[in-house]
Structures are given as C-alpha cells and as structure tokens.
A and B are shown apart, each in its own frame.
Chain A
Amino acid sequence: MSAEAVVFYVFGAITVLSGAVVVLARSLIYSAFALLFTFFGVAGLYVLLGADFLAATQLLIYVGGILVLLLFGVMLTHKLYDLDLRSEVTQFAPGIIVASGLFVILIAVAVRTQWTAGPGRPPSVTTAEVGRLFMGQYLLPFEAASILLLVALMGAAMIVRRRKLA
C-alpha cells in the first residue's frame, strides 16, 4: 500500500468515525469535540487532494469559528449546573432506515457511474492562483459573499439583542 493510501485511510477513518460519534454521542459536549476531529479529518483529506489553501481555511473558520460558536450555543442554552447536557433522540429507527438507504444509493451512484476522467490536477501550491481567481474572474461572487456575511452577522446581532417588550 502506498503512503498516499495509508494517509487517506487514516484521515478517512478519523472523519467517518468521529462523524459517527457526533451523531450518536449522548452528551452534547462529546458531540462538539468529536466534530473537532471530523473537521481535522476533512482538512487532512483536503491536503491530500492538493487543496492547501482550503485546508487552512477549513481549520481557521470551522475549528476556530464555527465550532467555538457551536460550543457557545451549547453552553448558553443550558443551565450551568446542568452537567450532563443530554440531547434527546427521537425517531431513531426511521432515521436509521432513511440514512442508510441514502448511503446505499449514494455508494451505488459513486461506484457504478463512469466518471469522465479529466486531465486531473496534481497537487501544487494553490494559494496564489486562488487569490488571482477571486480578484479577477470571480470578483462579483466574492463581493456578494462578503456582503452576505456582513448582513448575516448584523442580522444575528440584531436578533439576539435584548429589547424592551412593548
């Protein structure tokens, strides 16, 4: 087995197993920390795919931002003395049936489709090229995304603001 295969299987196993822990763990805190390992695993797969800029972005935004926000959400919506922070599970059997059915269908599509093999893009440094594309060909979506982010953050601050009830 080549080194690439070993690294792929390690990161793939980390991703899928910790993803399973996220979904199946009883405690919300366990779920949040398993999510950390899922994000790390996906970042490792990005590196393996030659997307170095995206891997760094994944770590900065998902681990540094979104995960911290989710932990704040867990902490702020429970009373502090409420130590076990359980999350209720309902409809477990139908959920398992739907999710595993979906999994089988997706696997069948992935394996049986003849994917047109392009020239491919061997891993190389991408940051400069990504920046050039964002500032050139994809400038409009880039600006739209930044406006969206601004509006969403202002809206979020607006929603949580405590206001006097009329």
Chain B
Amino acid sequence: MIGLQHYLIVSAALFSLGMLGILTRRNAVNVLMGVELVLNSANLNLVAFSRFGSGNLQGQLFAVFVIVIAAAEVAVALAIVLTLYRLRRTSNLDEADILRG
C-alpha cells in the first residue's frame, strides 16, 4: 500500500538533490535547474497532502500557482543571466561580482 510517507520520501530526496545542485554548481543555468528540482519536490508534497489529507483540491490549486511562479522566475532569471553574459562574457556565478563594493 503506497501511502503519504512514500511520496514524502521521494520529495525529500528530490529536495536534497536540488539543494546539492544549488550549493555545488557554479554555472547560473545549472543553479536554476536545482531550483526547479526544489520547486517540484514542494509541489509533490502539496499534491500528496491533497490526496491523503483533508480530501479537498486546495493542494492541487496551490501547486498550479507554484508552477506559474516557477515560470515567471525562470523567465526573469534567464534574462538576468543573458545580460550578465553580455556584460562579462561568463555565466559563472563567482565572477558575477559587479555589485561588490
């Protein structure tokens, strides 16, 4: 019998992998991929609680909002990465230190 905890464990694994990607990668696009993994794990949790919890659809609705915000986030973040690349010829986050005093 597959229950709530099975989904929570898959989601925890996905979250930790995304966190590892955010922490260890230096390429900006690769860090964004880590953020996407984290958002997907949160969504999986929301839908699992919606399925096994109170039995209404609110978790799924919230997941739709998370997807919308992820789309907006990726669009803006890629615009920033492209501008950074145009300015500095790099997409390495350690070299993006223009704002440092």
Interface size class of B (residues with CB under 8 A): 35 or more
Interface string of B7-35 (1 = CB under 8 A from A): 11110111111111101111111101110
CB A140 to nearest CB in B, in angstroms, measures 12
Report B-chain residues with C-beta under 8 Å of the C-beta of A98.
19-20, 23
Report B-chain residues with C-beta under 8 Å of the C-beta of A130.
57, 60-61, 64
Report which of A35, A45, A100, A138 forms a contact with B7, defined as CB distance below 8 A: A45
Residues 65 to 93 of chain B near chain A (Cβ within 8 Å): 65, 67-76, 78-83, 85-86, 91-92
Residues 88 to 133 of chain A near chain B (Cβ within 8 Å): 88-92, 94-96, 98-100, 102-103, 106-107, 110-111, 115-121, 123, 126, 129-130, 133
Report A-chain residues with C-beta under 8 Å of the C-beta of B24.
23, 89-92, 95-96
* Nearest opposing residue in chain B for A94, CB measure: B23
A70–B76 CB distance below 8 A: no
B16–A51 CB distance below 8 A: no
- Chain B residues in contact with chain A, CB under 8 A? 1-2, 4-10, 12-21, 23-30, 32-34, 36-37, 40, 43-44, 47-48, 50-57, 60-61, 63-65, 67-76, 78-83, 85-86, 91-92, 94
- Chain A residues in contact with chain B, CB under 8 A? 2, 4-5, 8, 12, 15-16, 19-20, 22-23, 28, 31-32, 35, 38-39, 42, 45-46, 48-51, 53-54, 57-58, 61-62, 65-66, 69-70, 72-74, 76-78, 87-92, 94-96, 98-100, 102-103, 106-107, 110-111, 115-121, 123, 126, 129-130, 133-134, 138, 141, 145, 148-149, 152-153, 155-157, 159-160, 162
